[in-house]
A and B are shown apart, each in its own frame.
Chain A
Amino acid sequence: MATQLIDQFAKNLAPDTKAAVYDGSKKGHEKRTQLLFDTYADPNRLREIAGEIKQHVIENLDTYLPAVEAKLQANGVKVHWAATGDDACAAVRDIMQARGLRKIVKAKTMVSEEIELEHYLNKHGIETLETDLGEFIVQIDHDHPSHIVKPIIHKNRREIAQSFEREGLGAYNDDPATITARARQFLRHKYLAADVALTGANFVSVESGRLVIVTNEGNSRFCLAATKCHIALVGIEKLVPNDRDLGLLLNLLGRSATAQQLTVYTEFVSGPKSATQPDGPEEMHVIFVDNGRTDVLASDCRDILRCIRCGACLNVCPVYRQASGHAYRSVYPGPVGAVLSPLLAGKKFPEFADLPKASSLCGACHEVCPVNIPIPDLLLRLREKGKREGAPLAAAGTPPMGAWAVLASQPAAWKVALFGGKILNFLPTNLIPVPALRAWEAKRTLPEWRGGEFRAWFKNRPKP
């Protein structure tokens, strides 16, 4: 029986990669738990409240989006709307070409990965440089991020040192501090030569029009200080109603993502530089990206739009730990990716219909989610969609259930099957043409069949 693609990927994963992913995510999860429960008496209540805030936002986007547009414009920000990824890429290109700008320094943004911005811009003669250390390493290696927060969780420092040597960033040295210092030194000059700072936004406050950008390296701050034009790519679900909501969400984000009380740098960007400010971008653009999000909003899986991209569900997920992020074949890996990627794929849903199967439905992702997304329920809904639409990737390795349903709704037939199953105790299983049984026995033994024994005991015993 053909097993699932992610299972095959996990089987073939290099031991070094597997160890790096496992160790990184396990440590991330353990530190998060400790910090959350050390700080708060009832972190689960906070997760519920944060979830309610974000759910409120996504259910009222029709009023919040025009409101935030007006606020941003009043702050001197130019607002653009992109229905698709291509529209968003074209908007960036148009802004730059109209002004004769060619060089971007980029802070980490998952939306830019989602819309494949770098590839698009490079085709149009625009240079992009990643300034987040992890993303920088991904870029020089022509690799893909494998984690939402820790893009190179799959690499060890020896590999990174080799990449730096290859790129002429100094002789081989795998000391993390040296690697970081070399990257900084290289990037400093690049900031000064750049035209445009490209960032995402972790949150946008409707009340004030403030963009919140969090980093641990201060790289977004360098980007904004050195360039004259700021372009922010923002998913339409990133809004919060009020500035005060940020208190809770930033506290949960830092703790959930990297087990920090707060990320090292938390920037609030209200608009282009004012006449009295000495530096900063003279122009600021916010591109709100839909790229399938309104379809998600219209679906029964809309809760996933609460996600604040902390990666806690990846860290705790036993399947992610076994398979690594690249197994998910999409920008968003792990449990959140298994829900979001098939949904954002739109018409290409069948290409990702196997992702929701990559879960034992253990519920650990729901338990850690800072916005309390019921991820297992959403995975189940998508499994149902995959089955209903007959997606072959969803069906792979899944035993058909028709015969079982007939048996399990007819007591007489069920009783016969209970006794008939005893054949399993005598017949070598390679003679039994049931693929699921073979797959089971490839890894495990089967206990002795005792069908009907309890019923016989219950019926024949002296009545109490």
Chain B
Amino acid sequence: MDLAHRKLPGADKRVQLMATCICDAFYADVARATVEVLEYLGCRVEFPEGQTCCGQPAFNGGDWPNSRKVVRHTVRTFAGELPVVLPSGSCAAMMFHGALLEFEQEADLPAVQQLASRTWELADFIVNGLGVKSWPGKLDATIAFHRACHTRGTGSGDAALGLLSSIAGLKVAPFGEGEQCCGFGGTFSVSFPNVSAGMGELKLEHIRAAQPDFLVSGDMSCMMHLGGLAEKEGKPIRTQHFVQVLRDALKNGGLL
């Protein structure tokens, strides 16, 4: 998928929000912050009520017929020409990469491609879709930023980091082995619980050494895993989506 030539927002900045199933079920505030931030930027956010999941769990599990069933539903639900914005690099990559792989031999591949060509991860959309390069407001905090793996090879990681770094008062603390995965990996987290937890513990060790006030990422699945692991160990850490940080900076600066 050629990410450089995706559908840009029109003059009216209408977008469709794919909230993702994990925010729909666990992280309502992330979906809400996404709406608030997009609206602050002048977008008109539509939320197709029929949306469920991007289809990734079955895709990663190897059950492609069941995954395709869900992708087809998603393609129908997000019909039209508007950019589709997701607060998740992982679900976005499912739409513009994974789904194309599992539809290679399918007759309705063009419909999947059409959706892929207008799918945006949120930070990528703000920076490269809307052209917003720095973030107003303020927030006095030190954060650690976990670059979620599904944004490798996309503009999302740099986009989110660029926005966060530009917030007045906010300090982004680097930590060791930043390129390493947190160990979530979808169904991997339950079929390889020991390896998954081992990876997560290493990540937490590096993050704690940087002494951030909280941990930030563009994927709540990584945060659910790392946050859950830390809490289970009895050493909880605060986790947030970067869009919550953007929203809080606006509020703090009296802009929202």
Contact = CB atoms under 8 A, between A and B. Distances in A.
A458 B17 CA distance: 11
Contact of B227 (A8, A381, A447, A452): A447
Contacts of A399: 57, 61, 187, 190
A385 to B, nearest CB: 8
Given A380-B98, A454-B31, A436 B195 contact: no
A450 B22 CA distance: 10
Nearest to B227: A447
Interface stretch (B109-117, B137-145, B159-167, B228-236): B228-236
B211 interface: no
Given A318-B180, A360-B149, A364-B149, A436 B187 contact: yes
A448 interface: yes
Contacts of B59: 380
Interface in A295-341: 316, 318-319, 322-323
A408 interface: yes
B127 interface: no
B188 A360 contact: yes
Given A384-B64, A418-B24, A357 B190 contact: no
B2 to A, nearest CB: 15
Contacts of A439: 189-191, 193
Given A380-B98, A418-B24, A361 B60 contact: yes
Contacts of B101: 377, 380-381
A362 B225 CA distance: 14
Given A380-B62, A387-B63, A440-B190, A449 B177 contact: no
B23 interface: yes
Interface stretch (B4-12, B67-75, B128-136, B243-251): B67-75
A1 interface: yes
B108 to A, nearest CB: 14
B52 A414 contact: yes
Nearest to B60: A361
A421 B24 CA distance: 11
A62 interface: no
Residue among A323, A452, A455 with most chain B CB within 10 A: A455
Contacts of B177: 26
Given A318-B199, A322-B199, A387 B62 contact: yes
A10 B179 CA distance: 22
Interface in B25-68: 25-29, 31-32, 35, 39, 44, 47, 49-53, 55, 57-64, 66-67
B181 interface: yes
B189 A440 contact: yes
Given A361-B188, A363-B150, A421 B25 contact: yes
B17 to A, nearest CB: 9
A453 interface: yes
Interface in A331-366: 357-364, 366
Interface in A144-197: none
A227 to B, nearest CB: 45
A108 to B, nearest CB: 29
A322 B25 contact: no
B197 interface: yes
B198 interface: yes
Nearest to B148: A362
B185 interface: yes
A40 interface: no
Residue among B35, B52, B185 with most chain A CB within 10 A: B52
B62 A443 contact: no
A397 B191 contact: yes
A450 B21 CA distance: 11
Residue among B50, B101, B188 with most chain A CB within 10 A: B188
B188 A359 contact: yes
B194 interface: yes
A398 B185 contact: no
Contact-residue bracket for chain A: 35 or more
Interface in A382-417: 383-388, 394, 396-399, 401-402, 404-405, 407-409, 411, 414
Given A411-B49, A443-B193, A451-B24, A318 B181 contact: yes
Given A364-B179, A408-B53, A454-B31, A447 B192 contact: no
Nearest to B23: A454
A100 to B, nearest CB: 51
B158 interface: no
Nearest to B181: A362
B102 interface: yes
A409 B58 contact: no
Residue among A358, A436, A443, A453 with most chain B CB within 10 A: A443
B243 to A, nearest CB: 13
A399 B58 CA distance: 9
B153 A367 contact: yes
A435 B193 CA distance: 12
A405 B69 contact: yes
B123 interface: no
Contacts of B82: none
Contact of B66 (A401, A446, A458): A401
Going nearest first, the 4 A-B pairs with the smallest beta carbon separation are A360-B185, A444-B228, A397-B191, A383-B62
Given A7-B193, A318-B181, A380-B62, 18 more contacts: A10-B192, A318-B183, A318-B199, A322-B194, A322-B195, A358-B192, A367-B179, A380-B60, A383-B62, A396-B191, A398-B62, A405-B69, A418-B25, A443-B228, A444-B200, A444-B229, A454-B32, A457-B28
Interface of A: 1, 3-4, 6-8, 10-11, 26, 316, 318-319, 322-323, 357-364, 366-367, 377, 380-381, 383-388, 394, 396-399, 401-402, 404-405, 407-409, 411, 414, 418, 421, 435-436, 439-440, 442-455, 457-458, 464
Interface of B: 19, 21, 23-29, 31-32, 35, 39, 44, 47, 49-53, 55, 57-64, 66-67, 69-70, 72-73, 77, 98, 101-102, 149-150, 152-153, 177, 179-181, 183-200, 202, 224-225, 227-229, 231-232
